Structures are given as structure tokens and as C-alpha cells.
Amino acid sequence: MADDTAGRPGKDVQRGSSGDGRASDRTPGLFDAVAGFGVSFSTMFRKVATEEYPEKPRPTAPRFHGRHQLNRHPDGLEKCVGCELCAWACPADAILVEGADNDDSPGGAGRFSPGERYGRVYQINYLRCIFCGLCIEACPTRALTMTNFYELADNDRSKLIFTKDQLLAPLQGGMLPPPFPMADGMEERDYYQGKVSGATTAQEAYVDARDSAGDPDDGGASDGDAEAPGNVGARVPGQHDVGHTLHPTAAETREGANP
């Protein structure tokens, strides 16, 4: 007797493994179960692809485009001269720069960078940034570079607008917190020709006198942000509490390298 369900939509029942849509009476055997487990067994010997993030962040590629950094000269003065070229180059309109004059005169605001001007306000909006690197290509002083730091997420949009105090590189050994005068006998071009290797005793004396006179450094972070002076070592908004610091490690920083 012919099967009256054949050819009727919704009536084909696969009881076996014929694979052509027709009903089959073959009962799955022991080998079928073993074949199924074979997939599991073969996977056991493959390299584990699971990442233990955030406990063990995966290293990035050397030329990874991560968070920006505003670099300093060896004595601590800032490399940014407030020219705004980075902001003009940015296709996402993510950078805000407001320059100001360095003022070495008595009672003046002081000097934050060699030369005429410095970046008084500097902000990068990481809600807009697409990490293209055009800004660091445009920077004439290598003040702006990109790090390998990528933990840029937050549930508060305002915290993803990074201000100058967050972007400035931390003070390394031999550096002083601006403002202070250029090294004796040095001009702006000397800084860019690598003739300054660290803070001089005259600069140290100036900073000591400035601090003891109750005019502590504000790190040039006069951008309306209420962070601590210089803000060195503070946390990046949005970063996880897994031991990362505000500023990238040396391995994450590629100052002087091409993007």
C-alpha cells in the first residue's frame, strides 16, 4: 500500500538519516553516537580561544590605534603648542583645542611649553573619535600620539570626553610640573633638536619657589576640569578596576613612532 503522506507539505517525517527528506526507518546505531562525540573530542585538542578578559587583557598589535596621549619634553614642558592643526584634521570633529600665550613675565600665568603658545584647553570626544590617526599625522610637534590603550567604554557619555589633564603624559624621572621657564640658554628649536635632556637646577629652584609661594602646579589643565593638580596617576573614566593605570605603560605608548 502506498504511503499517503508522501509529497504532502508538513507530513514528511524524518525518522532516519536518509537526508533526502524521505522517511527512513533506520535506527541510530552506536557508531552514530560515537561520531557525534568525535566532534567534541577533536575540539579538546585544539588551542583554546577563550580570552580571560579583563583579568588578562590581550596584547594589541604594535601599531594599534588606541587612546591619545599628549607628550612632554624631557624637562616636563608640554610639546603641544596649541596650533589646533589636529582639530582641523579630525574628520569626526572630535577634538577641541584652545591655545593661549605662554607668559614668563612677573605675575604672568607662566610657561607650559617652549615657544610662544601652549594648549590651554584640550579635549577629545571618544564618542566621536574613529581612531583614524589623522590628528597625530597633522601634529607638527609630535605632541599628540596614540597609545595601545583601548578600554574606552562607559555608561556615562560625559565621561568619554577626555580633558587635557587625562591626556597629558605623566611626569617621568627628570621632569617637573609646568609652568616654569625654558632651560637656560635654550630656545624652542633646541627642544625639538633634542638638546634638552631633563630639568636643570635652575628650573628645579623655580618650581620649588613657585610651590612654596602657594602657587602649585595645575599641570596646564586649566580647562574647567575639577581634577586634582596635574592629575598624574588618576583613573581613566570607564576603565575597569583590574590594575590598569590612567596612563598607558611604556609598551602601550609609541611616542615618536608613526601611527
Which one of the spans 40-48, 132-140, 147-155, 172-180 is the region binding ligand SF4 (CB under 6 A)? 132-140
45 carries a ligand binding annotation? no
Query: CA distances (Å), 203 to each of 25, 103, 114, in order?
Result: 92, 16, 13
Q: Check whether 50 is labelled as a binding-site residue.
A: no
Q: Does 152 bind ligand SF4 (CB under 6 A)?
A: no
Point out which span in 101-109, 138-146, 163-171, 185-193 binds ligand SF4 (CB under 6 A). Answer: 138-146
Determine, following the binding rule CB under 6 A, whether residue 81 of this chain makes contact with ligand SF4: yes
Q: Does residue 138 belong to the site contacting ligand SF4 (CB under 6 A)?
A: yes
Using CB under 6 A as the binding rule, whether residue 124 contacts ligand SF4 is answered as yes
CB of 85 to ligand SF4, least distance (A): 4
Min dist CB 171 to ligand SF4, Å, is: 18
Longest Cα–Cα distance in the chain: 111
Compute the C-alpha angle 8/9/10, nearest 5°: 115
Say whether 83 counts as a known binding-site residue: yes
User: Rule CB under 6 A: is residue 92 a binding residue for ligand SF4?
Assistant: yes
Q: Which is nearer to ligand SF4, 12 or 190 (CB)?
A: 190
- In angstroms, what is the minimal distance from the CB of 161 to ligand SF4? 12
Q: Is 77 in the site for ligand SF4 (CB under 6 A)?
A: no
We find the least distance from the C-beta atom of residue 187 to ligand SF4, in angstroms, to be: 17
Q: What are phi and psi of 105, to 5 degrees?
A: -70, 155
Half-sphere exposure of 156 (CA within 13 A, CB side): 8
234: nearest Cα among 157, 168, 135, 188: 168
Tell me how far CA of residue 11 lies from CA of 4, 8, 157, in angstroms.
9, 6, 55
Burial of 163 (0-12, 13-18, 19+ CB in 10 A): buried
Asked whether position 196 contacts ligand SF4 by CB under 6 A, the answer is no
Stretch that binds ligand SF4, among 6-14, 16-24, 79-87, 186-194 (CB under 6 A): 79-87
| Residues β-bridged to residue 161 | 125
Considering only the stretches 2-10, 51-59, 124-132, 196-204, report the one whose residues sit in contact with ligand SF4 under the rule CB under 6 A: 124-132
Q: Does 182 bind ligand SF4 (CB under 6 A)?
A: no
- DSSP string of 79-102, one letter each residue: S-----HHHHH-TT--EEEEEEE-
Q: For residues 156, 157, 163 and 167, what is the CA-based torsion angle, rounded to 10 degrees?
A: 80
| 100 touching ligand SF4, by CB under 6 A | no
Interaction site with ligand SF4 (CB under 6 A): 80-86, 89-90, 92, 94-95, 97, 119, 124, 129-135, 138-139, 141, 143-144
